[in-house]
Amino acid sequence: YLVIGGLSPIALRGVIPQLLETEGTTKVVIYDNLNNGHKSFAPVLSTDKRVSVVVGSTFNEKLLQKTLTDNEITHVIDFASLSSPRETSPIAIARTAVVGFTHVLDAVRHYGKSPRFVLVSRELTPSRSLSESVPPLPNSMIAANSMAVESMLHSYVVSYRLPLMIARLSEGVIVHGLSRGLNAVFDGVQVEDEKALSLISLADASRGILAVLNKGEKHQIYNIGGEIAVMLKDLKECYAKIKEGSCCTVPSIPSVFPIDKAQIELGWTPVDKDPCAVLKSELAVISTPRTTIIRCFRKVLVYGFDQPTGVKVIKVLKSMNIVFALGSSKPGEDSMDKVKEEIFGVAPSHIIFVGDLHSDPAYFDQDPKPAKLKENVGKNLHAPWILAAICERIRCTFGYIQTFKEQDVDETSEGVVKSFTNRLLEQFSSDYQCRFVVPESAMDERNVVQIVVNILTKNENAPLAAAKPEEGKTCNLS
């Protein structure tokens, strides 16, 4: 089994444990871009050797193909559309959703073995009845993107006859971290009082998704939800009483999210009928202190590790117990295919390129000048640009560290080339790029730690151990 977006709460706590309990399961591969964080407390990741994790974006089609082929995948579950996008621009969000999913479908198509594939989509219009045959309304950016993704799946079914299905999940899955409405309930913040959710337990939702995977018909949509609906206002009041140790009952109404098709065709039906009991169980999970990190998924690929700053970066990574690999290819000299092959093979979460000043300031100004010019441009401009371009395409965080002497910036060939390199790198999106231009005199241990921390925590909602650089701009440390 391949579970894309497999570090999400619904996958780690619901679907994957049920997969491991299924007879005949020999391997579960989690493919995730760490959008939900770089570490996990889920015991399943350490207690079962059948589970492995590959860090990568849905844009990294070659890594997806490699993962499918190497593990001989027969079933795929895609949770990626349930995650919140990193981007803020509507265009960027749409590109990530639709283009990313297209890369997933193309990887499955080129794999050639037609694995059964389930896209886990979401209930888009909780306020009105929506059967599987009724198209959702594009009344929000999330809804519009989900419609586009479902349409793309349909086109691949028609064009390539692939066994692809959709499990449209209710917004009322009782698990923290999935539904914005239920998150508001769990976190005790203001909720939309008039909104009703079709409540379903995590266990029932997971069974429904697996029923679609194993029994669903090609290009069919199946609603996976509960048989009752509860107003968010009532749910919040009940949850508050449960936290206080009191008993409660929740007034319910018939669900407006029809699940008849899944019940009839798949033989699936929700069994957890008491929402209060499920809420109490979820409260116990949320309230349990998470003190032991089971797995940390960061993996850093370092280029320029043999330079003075590179040596310091490696020392910092070791002190932080971060898994790292040393780049053996030579960007700027080797072909781009060779560099890509290394990146796809390592599958890093971050790439760091170190561009220290040459020990001889006049090295690139010596004869033979054509050869020195080629080396200068290849090492100091072409190499970081290639890595930045690859990282931008596959949605991998890229950290560029450049050192300089203030008096030599515009007085040597190396300084001029690096100056233009920094300008060229500014064209790349700040979402996956982090640049540091630092005087040699400032590259002490404290600043190196600060730089590494900022690269590793890029795009994460985690507390920083050092100040974060301004988005999209060069961070000049002095």
pLDDT in tens, 201-257: 889 999 999 999 999 998 899 999 988 888 877 777 777 777 777 777 777 788 878
154 burial (CB, 10 Å; 0-12 / 13-18 / 19+) is: middle
Report, in this order, helix, strand and coil percent for the chain, each rounded to 5.
45, 20, 40
The per-residue pLDDT for 276 is 78
CA distance 308 to 4: 39
The per-residue pLDDT for 449 is 92
Residue 200 has pLDDT above 90, yes or no: no
More confident residue, 163 or 438: 163
What are the extents of the domains in the chain? 2-287, 298-456
The per-residue pLDDT for 90 is 77
* Band of pLDDT at residue 474, cut at 50, 70 and 90: very low
Residue carrying structure tokens 């233009």: 420
CATH of domain 298-456: 3.40.50.720
Strands (E), 148-239: 164-169, 172-174, 196-201, 221-224, 228-231
129-143, 291-305, 366-380 — most confident range: 366-380
DSSP symbol at 364: G
More confident residue, 180 or 357: 357
CA distance 287 to 295: 20
Q: Which of 108-112, 146-150, 181-185, 254-258 has the lowest mean pLDDT?
A: 181-185
452 burial (CB, 10 Å; 0-12 / 13-18 / 19+) is: buried
More confident residue, 249 or 299: 299
Mean pLDDT of 377-403: 92
Q: Which of 263-267, 362-366, 452-456 has the lowest mean pLDDT?
A: 362-366
Q: Which of 11-15, 252-256, 267-271 has the lowest mean pLDDT?
A: 252-256
Mean pLDDT of 29-49: 77
Residue carrying structure tokens 């490696």: 314
- Per the CB < 8 A criterion, the answer to whether 73 and 409 are in contact is no
Residue 409 has pLDDT above 60, yes or no: no
Among the listed residues 68, 82, 219, the one whose alpha carbon sits nearest the alpha carbon of residue 158: 219
* Band of pLDDT at residue 287, cut at 50, 70 and 90: low
Joined tokens for residue 138: 């594009």
Multiple choice CATH, 2-287, 3.90.550.10, 3.40.50.720, 1.10.10.60, 1.25.40.10: 3.40.50.720
Among the listed residues 344, 355, 340, 350, the one whose alpha carbon sits nearest the alpha carbon of residue 300: 350
The per-residue pLDDT for 41 is 60
CA distance 69 to 345: 13
CA angle centred on 50, ends 47 and 52, rounded to 5°: 90
CA distance 364 to 361: 8
Residue carrying structure tokens 């000049």: 476
**Same fold yes or no, 2-287 and 298-456:** yes
Mean pLDDT of 95-112: 92
Residue 405 has pLDDT above 90, yes or no: no
Residue 327 has pLDDT above 90, yes or no: yes
3-7, 44-48, 95-99 — most confident range: 3-7
- Per the CB < 8 A criterion, the answer to whether 154 and 117 are in contact is no
DSSP symbol at 188: T
CA distance 53 to 316: 24
Mean of pLDDT over the chain? 82
The per-residue pLDDT for 478 is 30
The per-residue pLDDT for 418 is 87
Distance of CA 156 to the CA centre of its chain: 23
Residue 191 has pLDDT above 70, yes or no: no
Q: Which helix (H) or strand (E) holds 346?
A: helix 336-346
The per-residue pLDDT for 451 is 92
Percent of the chain exceeding pLDDT 90 equals 40
pLDDT digit string, tens, across residues 68-78: 999 999 999 99
CA distance 428 to 435: 11
